């Protein structure tokens, strides 16, 4: 064991980061609920209202992330590597950015219909958010909850794989059945944004797994 690792066992580590991560994911779960409502809504004015709520949550998320960065800079002993604290906060913030972008595209493009597969991917994003919230709630006991956290990370990875398959199938369906070229482009861009969002969730899971390896 390295000397610095040994010494850290006897130093009280700052725990203020855990509530901040939990706040990030609570905020994201609210955003994903609004995202689902937006994609189910057929009234355009109501869609815009849901988007404005997501926009406000995205701004709130930026402030929480900035708070984490600030705390890292002024904290002497962090619960795990300070670079990892920064990276994890950034990855979580990016996940919210992509949720916001998917909502923006749905409102901006105004597709004439919303396909069932699109809603299915939105549901997967909601699942990602729930799993990630469970993970950050266990971060303080990351060594004791290691196996539980890794199982949740695997579920997020499985979602990403399933969405990749669904995305490919949906694109095939679009090019075969959507005769309106403009509508085809709209749907392709929207579903691409949603698929990218699940990729960002997987990146958070990958970051968590990396932290666990370092702490082992």
Q: Per-residue confidence of the chain (216 residues) as pLDDT tens digits?
A: 443 444 344 333 557 889 999 999 999 999 999 999 999 999 999 999 999 999 999 999 999 999 999 988 887 677 778 899 999 999 999 999 999 999 999 999 999 999 999 999 999 999 999 999 999 999 999 889 999 999 999 999 999 999 999 999 999 999 999 999 999 999 999 999 999 999 999 999 999 999 999 887
In the numeric block, the tokens 């799993």 are attached to: 131
- Count Cα atoms within 13 angstroms, Cβ side, for 177: 9
3-state SS, residue 161: helix
Residues 6+ apart with CB under 8 A from 216: none
Homologous superfamily of the 3-215 domain (CATH): Phosphate transport system protein phou homolog 2; domain 2 (1.20.58.220)
Where are the domains positioned within the chain? 3-215
Residue 205's nearest CA partner among 104, 69, 88, 73 is 88
pTM of the model: 0.92
Residue 72: the pLDDT is 85
What phi, psi does 75 have (nearest 5°)? -105, 130
Greatest CA span in the chain, whole angstroms?
A: 67
Confidence at residue 183, expressed as pLDDT on a 0 to 100 scale: 97
pLDDT recorded at residue 34? 98
CB atoms inside a 10 Å sphere around CB 186: 20
Any idea what DSSP says for residue 139?
G
Question: What pLDDT, on the 0 to 100 scale, is given for residue 215?
Answer: 83
| Euclidean distance between CA atoms 1 and 57, whole angstroms | 43
List the one residue out of 216, 76, 194, 73 whose CA is nearest residue 144: 216
Task: Say how far apart CA 154 and CA 173 lie, in whole Å.
Answer: 29
Give the CA angle between residues 168, 173, 174 to the nearest 5°.
95
Whole-angstrom Cα distance, residue 31 to residue 13? 31
Q: How far apart are CA 195 and CA 213, in angstroms?
A: 28
Alpha helices in 75-115 (DSSP H): 82-109
Rounded Cα distance between 162 and 90, Å, is 25
């Amino acid at each position: 064991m390295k000397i610095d690792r040994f010494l850290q066992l006897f130093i009280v580590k700052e725990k203020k980061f855990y509530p901040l991560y939990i706040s990030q994911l609570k905020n994201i779960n609210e955003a994903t609920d609004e995202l689902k409502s937006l994609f189910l809504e057929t009234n355009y004015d109501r869609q815009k209202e849901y988007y404005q709520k997501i926009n406000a949550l995205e701004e709130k998320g930026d402030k929480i992330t900035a708070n984490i960065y600030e705390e890292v800079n002024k904290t002497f002993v962090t619960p795990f590597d300070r670079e990892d604290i920064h990276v994890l906060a950034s990855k979580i913030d990016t996940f919210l950015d992509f949720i916001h972008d998917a909502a923006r595209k749905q409102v901006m493009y105004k597709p004439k219909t919303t396909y069932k597969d699109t809603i299915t991917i939105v549901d997967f994003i909601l699942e990602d958010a729930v799993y990630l919230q469970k993970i950050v709630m266990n971060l303080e006991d990351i060594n004791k909850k290691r196996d539980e956290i890794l199982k949740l990370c695997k579920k997020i990875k499985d979602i990403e794989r399933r969405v990749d398959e669904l995305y490919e199938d949906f694109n095939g369906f679009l090019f075969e059945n959507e005769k309106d070229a403009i509508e085809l482009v709209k749907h392709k861009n929207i579903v691409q944004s949603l698929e990218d969002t699940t990729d960002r969730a997987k990146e958070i899971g990958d970051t968590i797994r990396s932290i666990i390896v370092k702490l082992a």
